[in-house]
């Protein structure tokens, strides 16, 4: 019987293929292990301000009382934003509890004549400020002129 002392080319190709598969998965694995929570928090902050801006633009009236933002919509829904246990939560008609932002140390809503100012301080000691202007419907603009 003839005993080979080396590897055949098929064995080398299979081993090389396995090596390439492992080498292509390894960087993704390290990215998951070294995930940066600040990146996720920046995306969450951006989404929070987009949702809040959308709700303010749809609101018929805006009220801030005891640092709780009340947005009364034209369809008789009341949307509230409030700080609760290091989170900002959104409720519709005081039902449900949608967490719109986590890892919050402080939030401050300030009402002014045509909108609100929002200041959010997170656990990373970053302060995010945003001024959201209330949009007037075209019907009200023509009536006021």
Pick from 51, 72, 52: which is nearest to 117 by CA?
52
Q: 10-36 b/e with 16+ CB inside 10 Å = b?
A: eeeeeeeeeeeeeeeeeeeeeeeeeee
Instruction: Tell me the domain boundaries of the chain.
Output: 44-144
Query: What ranges make up the beta strands (E) of 66-114?
Result: 68-73, 78-83, 87-92, 95-102, 104-112
pLDDT tens across the length of the chain (145 residues): 566 676 788 888 999 999 999 988 888 877 766 666 666 778 889 999 999 999 988 888 888 998 899 998 888 899 999 999 899 999 999 898 898 998 899 999 998 888 899 999 988 888 999 999 877 654 544 444 4
Query: How far apart are alpha carbons 77 and 56 in whole angstroms?
Result: 13
| Radius of gyration of the CA atoms of the chain, in A | 27
Q: What's the predicted TM-score (pTM) here? A: 0.67
User: Scanning the structure block, which residue is given the tokens 């064995």?
Assistant: 11
Question: Which ranges in 34-69 belong to alpha helices (H)?
Answer: 37-58
CB–CB of 100/45 below 8 Å? Answer: no
């Amino acid at each position: 019987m003839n005993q080979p002392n080396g590897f055949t080319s098929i064995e080398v190709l299979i081993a090389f293929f396995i090596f390439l598969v492992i080498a292509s998965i390894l960087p993704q694995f390290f990215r998951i292990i070294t995930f940066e929570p600040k990146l996720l928090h920046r995306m969450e902050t951006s989404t929070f301000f987009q949702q809040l801006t959308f709700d303010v633009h749809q609101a018929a009236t805006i009220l801030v009382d005891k640092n709780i933002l009340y947005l009364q919509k034209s369809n008789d829904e009341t949307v509230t934003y409030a700080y609760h246990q290091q989170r900002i939560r959104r409720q519709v008609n005081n039902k449900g509890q949608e967490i719109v932002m986590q890892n919050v140390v402080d939030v401050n809503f300030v009402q002014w004549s045509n909108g609100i100012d929002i200041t959010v301080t997170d656990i990373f000691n970053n302060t995010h400020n945003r001024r959201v202007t209330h949009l007037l419907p075209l019907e009200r603009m023509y009536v006021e002129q």
